[in-house]
Structure 1
Amino acid sequence: DGTEFTLSPSTTQQPLGYCIEQSNENGLQVSTGLYTHHDSDSQPDISNDLHLSFPTSDVTGEYANMSSELWPSAIASSILLNSPEFRNFSNGKSLLELGSGVGLAGLVAARDCSSCVLTDVDERAVQLLHQATHKNHLPETVTCRQLDWRDNHDASNPVDIILGSDIAYYYHLLRPIMDTTRAFLKQDSVAQDSLLIIVGGASRESQWDLYHNIRDGCYNQITDVREPPWLGKTKMVLFHLKMSNWVEDNDETDVVEDDDEDSQMVPISVIIHQPPSRSGISSNDPSLDTDTIMSLFKEFEYVATETDDRNMLKSF
């Protein structure tokens, strides 16, 4: 038995992808994949499932809950990063994941990248990430290391893509996230379609604050200066993640016990920022067309509006 997660656009019930989570004596087992769409019919494409295994977490102390849990945003990321658009975009590019935790999102994203670095602030969490990369037979181009966003970073080797799942959960972390991203993400003349993706709960106010800080500019308490919007283009895309009980049918195929009374719906938001490049956009004017930015499931994409911002029931 386990849990199935199904991702759909926030405006429809059209399933885009799924993720099944199971825990047993061998650790955490995760399968993730996409749905195929034929007219009004949607079916899981089992032939292209990605199966991953993770050691049981024994992280303790300050970061135990944050680093050892498989959070809904990481589940959503595992589906989003399976999209054809992201796989094509990430092919041959370098990627850095912030706050990897268990490592699900980063391992999914690593498939098509030329290099991938998984990071976490907790030393034991990084050791478990090393185990996960070996357990899933990933190439040596996937590495793991400790990274504290609060440190000063002088990145001599900036990356093409920065990924984060459920990292904007505290207000005091927004500034370190922004500074770390700017230090490691390729900018200006060296940027060849680089990208920042931060997936989080759409009901979390700090996620929206991070989005506005990047898109609209913000006050920096450290320097006592109001910073302008980041150069490039920024958008937020909204999804729903449905959680259902899952039961394995040993006689035939795997089935899902999809009882709506027991299901939960989690609103998901994706911040996507693309810096200017020689082939890309150069302004972050919110009035400009957001279609110029890389999309995830473009056919079903719903870009958040000011009305969504006002009407979303948010919590800290």
Structure 2
Amino acid sequence: MVNHEEEEEDIVWLDGSFFINDNYQLTSFTFGSHVLQLYCLHSASTDFDLTGQLVWPGAMLLNDYLSKNAEMLQGCSMIELGSGVGITGMLCSRFCRQILLTDHNEEVLKILRRNIELNVSSENPSCCAALEAEKLEWGNSDQINRILHKYPGGFELILGADICFQQSSVPLLFDTVEQLLKNRGLGHCKFILAYVSRAKMMDLMVISEATRHGMLINEVAGTRSMVGNLEGVIFEITLC
């Protein structure tokens, strides 16, 4: 007869940290005349939820676009959705007056805050923005309202890079964007999305969700390009 107590004793329970790679490396990135340094991984943790530890292709696409169009950032307030390690925020900090970087994962938020500390130090005069990080799960009204209460003037720019790769999260993303856009009232606000195509179904879903939420989605001319072996494009999205 099997002794279940003995069977249970043979099971080795793995601590959650087993799935987390936190061996971050200080890495340099160049966009035009701007050189950024931040901590990131060069290969992912085994936990799918920790994809934000890497710099994704869409972030490279977005930063290249912003570095060539920096006038749109000058003196504005900005929020980024799915910031990951914060490479876009670090570039924007050289032009914007106020930046809020957000992510839903606590481990990713740790390295994001570490990169903020690195880039706002007194030894880095390039950073001119007020940089902060907050937890934000898309579609979470409590967290969205808390952010809007803290930033009552709202944001002039909403940024997102390579954040459409799970079908279940896309409606929640546009729910969140809609609330942020509407909070500006008559004030100017737009959502800039660096989109990398990985599946035709997702291509259609992004456009249909924007439309369903009462938004205009326009491809920025001249931005469609290959990012590695994938095709990427910049979209500008506003309320109708």
Please report the TM-score for the alignment, with normalisation by the length of structure 2: 0.73
| Contact residue 171 and residue 209 of structure 2 kept, 8 A | no
Assess if the C-alpha contact under 8 Å between 1:168 and 1:207 holds in 2: no
User: Shift of residue 140 of structure 1?
Assistant: 6.6
Is 1:92 aligned to residue 50 of structure 2? Answer: no
Provide the identity percentage.
19
Structure (1/2) with the larger helix percentage: 2
| 2:135 alignment partner in structure 1 | 146
Q: Structure 1 residue 69 and structure 2 residue 58: aligned?
A: no
Measured in 2, the distance between the counterparts of 1:126 and 1:181 equals 20
8 Å CA contact retained: 1:168, 1:200: yes
**Counterpart position of 1:271:** 235
SS in structure 2 at match of 1:82: helix
2:100 aligned counterpart, secondary structure: strand
The aligned residue for residue 175 of structure 2 is 179
Alpha carbons 1:160, 1:186 under 8 Å: kept: no
Residue 28 of structure 1: CA displacement? 3.8
RMSD: 2.6
SS in 2 for 1:96: strand
Q: Is the 8 A contact 1:91 1:113 kept in 2?
A: yes
**1:54 CA drift (Å):** 1.6
Q: How does 1:216-255 map to 2 (within 5 A)?
A: 217-218=211-212, 229-230=214-215, 233-237=216-220, 238-243=223-228
Unmatched 5+ stretches in structure 2: 1-22, 121-126
Does residue 160 of the first structure (1) align with residue 180 of the second (2)? no
1:270, CA displacement in angstroms?
Answer: 1.7
The C-alpha deviation readout for 1:193-247, integer Å capped at 9, x for no partner, is: x110111213433244212332xx33xxxxxxxx6x32xx42024422354xxxx
Distance in 2 (alpha carbons) for counterparts of 1:116 and 1:144 = 8
Q: Which residue of 2 aligns with 1:195?
A: 190
Give the whole-Å Cα distance in 2 for the aligned partners of 1:273 and 1:163.
10
Give SS of 2:137's match. coil
Match of 2:67, SS? coil
Would the aligned equivalents of 2:80 and 2:89 in 1 still touch at CA under 8 Å? yes
**1:115, distance to aligned residue in structure 2 (A):** 0.5
Maintained 8 Å contact 2:155/2:184 = no
| Residues 148-178 of structure 1: CA deviation (Å, up to 9, x unaligned) | 0131133333211111111111111111111
Secondary structure at 1:190's aligned position in 2? coil
Match of 1:256 in 2: none
How far, CA to CA, are the matches of 2:61 and 2:94 in structure 1? 17
